[in-house]
Amino acid sequence: MNPHLSKLQPYPFERLRQLFAGVTPNRQLREIRLSIGEPQHATPAFITDALSANLAGLASYPSTLGSSELRGAIAAWLKRRYGLSDIDAETQIIPVNGSREALFAFAQAVIDPSRGGTPLVVSPNPFYQIYEGAAFLAGADPRFLNTLPSNDYAFDFDALSEAEWQRVQLFYVCSPGNPTGKVLRLDDWRRLFALADRYGFVIASDECYSEIFFDEAKPPLGALQAARLLGRGCERLVMFSSLSKRSNVPGMRSGFVAGDAATLQSFLLYRTYHGSAMSPAVQAASVAAWSDESHVVGNRRQYTQKFAAVTPRLAEVLETALPDAGFYLWARTPIDDGDFARRLLADYNVLVLPGSLLARTAQGVNPGAGFVRIALVAPLADCVEAAERIASFTSKL
């Protein structure tokens, strides 16, 4: 077996299952699950209609590059959303089966173990666990940059030595961040681009939460948009996006990668052998989804209502605040985060995710310790009830 498999840690939700082993939830209260970031809003009917109307496409092998119609719809969305007027649908966009598998596969295509010394893959900490697994399976070592509230969740680039920067080949960014909701500003991108130019690494920008925000006039800044605003091209820069959160279709597994044509040419070669072409029926439904914005505005409105109702109540008992974007509240706990989650489940039958499960100890700190991630994905009434239960629980600690 691949020896790198032994480096993988149990996934956070497996660790959560182990943490909750032996806990008997309060059966007088119905379960409210806010631990998993799975969208629970209804899938728009026009998307499911497009999917079912194109089932005849299952009789054909799909192209790894996807249909020209899908790439064209994605390019049109990138132009509307980020002002990328000259994005080339033929060379700068690859449809993928959700951002998760693409984020993992990308490291396998990018990492070059022959360059001298063990390659390094940098990511934020806390982080989406795929970044670490992708690094290990590509034969690289992960390096984590702690994102802490004391520094407004900014990257501490000085945490890496010059010798480490020399070995960095891939840098994962998550903006809006999971779990903090932090959105990188233009100055953040300017400094990161300067480091990429100096050391020659590739930037992979995970933007799957980009369409969940609270002010229609201020959508989150994207990586390719930042590059454009700074007057540069997208050399060694790619972004990953997905329909899962935007359009409430996590089971459809549909997203895309866009950016540097040279990097994507190599990634396409990898994917051709990887065997990861998107189903024609899913492609047709994706065209419909990327081409419509009204359902996305309605989706955002639902999250805005939930945050408006829940955040002030939880802020009375926990240190938390409205994030820049995304659908998570990142809340500091008055006791150990694992104990907080276990006791909340036992006493009030609400499930949240301990922050320490989403992070690794780096520079002597686990930046997720003492926090919980609360996913406001349930219906509004459930989120409000959960907030009241959390407030009641916390006030008794």
For residues 130 and 200, state if they share a domain: yes
For residues 379 and 282, state if they share a domain: no
For residues 154 and 281, state if they share a domain: yes
Residue in this structure with the two tokens 């150990």, named with its chain if needed: 336
For residues 277 and 384, state if they share a domain: no
For residues 237 and 322, state if they share a domain: no
For residues 250 and 323, state if they share a domain: no
What CATH number is associated with residue 366? 3.90.1150.10
**pLDDT < 50 positions in the chain:** none
For residues 367 and 282, state if they share a domain: no
For residues 216 and 228, state if they share a domain: yes
Q: What is the pLDDT of residue 132?
A: 98
Task: Report the DSSP pairing between strands 371-375 and 328-332.
Answer: antiparallel
Range of the domain at 177: 48-291
Q: What is the pLDDT of residues 211-251, one digit of tens each?
A: 999 999 999 999 999 999 999 999 999 999 999 999 999 99
Question: Which letter does DSSP use for residue 7 in this model?
Answer: G
Query: Model pTM?
Result: 0.97
For residues 66 and 100, state if they share a domain: yes
Give me the sign of the Cα torsion angle 331, 383, 294, 296: positive
What CATH number is associated with residue 230? 3.40.640.10
For residues 329 and 185, state if they share a domain: no
Q: Of 267, 291, 315, which one is at a domain's C-terminal end?
A: 291
- Is 218 buried (19+), middle (13-18) or exposed (0-12) by CB count in 10 A? exposed
Q: What is the pLDDT of residues 124-152, one digit of tens each?
A: 999 999 999 999 999 999 999 999 999 99
Q: What is the pLDDT of residue 259?
A: 98
Q: What is the distance of C-alpha 117 from the center of its chain?
A: 29
For residues 285 and 308, state if they share a domain: no
Query: What's the structural domain count of the chain?
Result: 2
Task: Report the DSSP pairing between strands 328-332 and 202-206.
Answer: unpaired
Q: Of 244, 270, 291, which one is at a domain's C-terminal end?
A: 291
Distance CA 89, CA 91 (A): 6
Q: What is the pLDDT of residue 276?
A: 86
Those residues whose C-beta lies under 8 Å from the C-beta of residue 15, and which sit 6 or more positions away, are: 9, 357
- Is 140 buried (19+), middle (13-18) or exposed (0-12) by CB count in 10 A? buried
Q: Of 223, 256, 291, which one is at a domain's C-terminal end?
A: 291
For residues 251 and 301, state if they share a domain: no
